[in-house]
Structure 1
Amino acid sequence: MKSLKKWVPVVLACSAITGCATILNEETQPVNISASNGKPIEGTIAGTPFTAPGIVNVKRAQDGQIAKVSTPGCTPETAIPASVDSKFFINILTGGTFGSTTDMSTEEMWKYQDAVTISCQ
């Protein structure tokens, strides 16, 4: 029991300086991308090629991402907006300034919609 009491402050200190979203979220988020006409499409997100319909791992970023589609008849660019992940707010309550700063600097505090539909004719 005595050694357990010794580790409690260490665990609390470590959790206070690490970000909750940084620990729980990965650098990328899987997003289901499809075309409004149900046909296959090709494009890039942040320079990384993708084919859809399918799951695409999208790098988390504060400004979101842009899906650039090369398939004729489809909207050439579709925004994938980012919003703050609820894990970030939990971190503010439990980890304070250090943890939330870590989440902000790693950009792992952001999330995207689970599915994005590209408009195609």
Structure 2
Amino acid sequence: MADEANRAAFMEIQSRMIENTGKLKQVQNQLRNKEWEKKRAYLTLEELKQLPNDTNTYNFILEPKTILMNEQEQKLKDSEAAIATLQASKEYLEKQSKEVENNWRELLQQDPGLAHQIMSMSVM
């Protein structure tokens, strides 16, 4: 009976680990995208600052430089806010992963035979 309970606990921990890893990868991809957006907005702003203030610029249509600068500044702020949120999510998921790993270790320490069963299952 204890073997079945340990096996069920193992399966639950494994499921949580897989789910957590997927979420962590997703957050890391989102972070990379937001970092790229932030960099692009920053570089665009740096280029725009070099132009005279009365210069008309193209976004999709010809418009004053100030409008495009305001848009880029907003993108920069939005990216920074999203990065902060995603970083917090990443840290939370990393903490969850460590907890799951600790649960896994504890389970394997409680039932060393389970580790042998798991290894024999993965070989098949």
Q: Is the shorter-chain TM-score for this pair beyond 0.5, marking a shared fold?
A: no
TM-score normalised to structure 1 length:
0.29
Whose helix proportion is higher, 1 or 2? 2
